[in-house]
């Protein structure tokens, strides 16, 4: 079983709700994102949904769109997100679901490549939109 399913089933069986925090990677910067994930882990957040910033996120609200812009302006892309998680995994085991845009992020790099990179970084799951 995956860590995502493990935590969800454990909470369900205990009559607890699961808490999943969304963070857009790279806003305000990669180091802060990593620190926030570590803090979430320490405070008992069950899962992290980690967004990979991309241009043209027109279906998101203004706050998320602006977050994407700030992260992209700092050069944060898929590869940087993967590397941050890879480094994070030496100290933190909180389940991470990577939220990535297929058209702008995954398609250009190739689905197999992205899945392999996520697997090697010990990302628990990918949600493509």
Active-site positions?
49, 60
The H or E element containing residue 20 is strand 20-24
Q: What is the CA radius of gyration of the chain?
A: 14
Q: Are 47 and 19 in contact (CB under 8 A)?
A: yes
Q: Are 88 and 125 in contact (CB under 8 A)?
A: no
Distance CA 104, CA 117 (A): 17
CA nearest neighbour of 46 among 78, 14, 11? 11
């Amino acid at each position: 079983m995956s860590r995502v399913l493990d935590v969800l089933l454990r909470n369900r069986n205990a009559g607890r709700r699961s808490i999943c925090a969304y963070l857009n990677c790279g806003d305000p910067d990669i180091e802060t994102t990593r620190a926030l994930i570590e803090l979430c882990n320490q405070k008992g957040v069950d899962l992290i949904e980690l967004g990979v910033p991309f241009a043209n996120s027109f279906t998101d609200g203004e706050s998320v769109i602006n977050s994407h812009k700030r992260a992209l302006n700092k050069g944060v892309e898929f590869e940087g997100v993967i590397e941050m998680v890879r480094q994070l995994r030496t100290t933190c085991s909180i389940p991470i679901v990577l939220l990535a845009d297929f058209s702008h992020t995954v398609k250009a790099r190739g689905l197999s490549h992205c899945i392999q990179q996520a697997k090697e970084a010990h990302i628990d799951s990918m949600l493509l939109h």
